[in-house]
Amino acid sequence: MPVYRGRRPPPLPPMPPPACQNGMAFPVTERPLKPPSVSVDLSAKPAAVPALRTPQARVLAALVPADATDPVFDWPLVTRPQLAVRAGCTAISGTITRALNGTRAKKVFGDRPKTGVWSLVGTVGGKEIWEGNSSGDPHAGLLELKCVEEVVLDIEGTKEVNYRATKLGVAAYQAWVRKNGKLPALKDASVCVNDRYKKTQTKDDE
């Protein structure tokens, strides 16, 4: 850099104008910002935690890990009979099936069925139309709610279906416990027998 002695150095040359955008010059501090290269859907929301029924909470209680921070592949993974026993039911209990799969609405024409939950939805040809299910009011199961997932294992060439809780299932179970507390005790199996299918005992049978 040259050194000037005895007189003031000449003024510096003017700065060049800022780069032009769209044919117009913008000061550096006022240049328009570029749009982000990745679009983010700000309207997306996390999955809502579903409200569980007591039998569904009982099934999840048998599947939730002791420590939810463990890797998912370390969470309990059981077959349907094993799940039934862990939940305090028999290996062929229909409670497990309804908890996992829910119940679907059916339509019946004519007289209202004697068991179950049914609603009159109309008439046709002078006959009433009832919608419902003999096992209770129709509802989604844990599989449909994404609270439990099926994991198929290949055991020496045989496909084995297993069940495991999901993170949403753990959150749903924790929400149920916060609201309801401990699970109620199971009913005595002897009072849960369906007497409709028992053969009526007569004097000839004695």
From CA 201, how far away is CA 185, in angstroms rounded? Answer: 32
Topology adopted by domain 54-103+139-180? Arc Repressor Mutant, subunit A (1.10.10)
Split at pLDDT 50, 70, 90, the class of 76 is very high
Higher pLDDT, 121 or 57: 57
Residue 87 has pLDDT above 80, yes or no: yes
- Tell me what percent of the residues of the chain surpass a pLDDT of 90: 33
From CA 200, how far away is CA 206, in angstroms rounded? Answer: 11
Higher pLDDT, 7 or 67: 67
Give the pLDDT confidence score for residue 95 in this predicted structure: 85
DSSP 150: E
Split at pLDDT 50, 70, 90, the class of 83 is very high
Residue 139 has pLDDT above 50, yes or no: yes
Place of tokens 């002078």: 126
> Where do the structural domains in the chain lie, given as residue ranges?
54-103+139-180
Place of tokens 């328009």: 32
From CA 74, how far away is CA 174, in angstroms rounded? Answer: 19
What residues pair up with 128 in beta bridges, in sequence order? 123
From CA 83, how far away is CA 96, in angstroms rounded? Answer: 8
Place of tokens 């959150």: 171
Do residues 83 and 56 touch, judged by C-beta distance below 8 A? no
- Phi/psi at 176 (5° precision): -65, -45
SS3 78: strand
Split at pLDDT 50, 70, 90, the class of 197 is very low
What tokens were used for 187? Answer: 């009913």
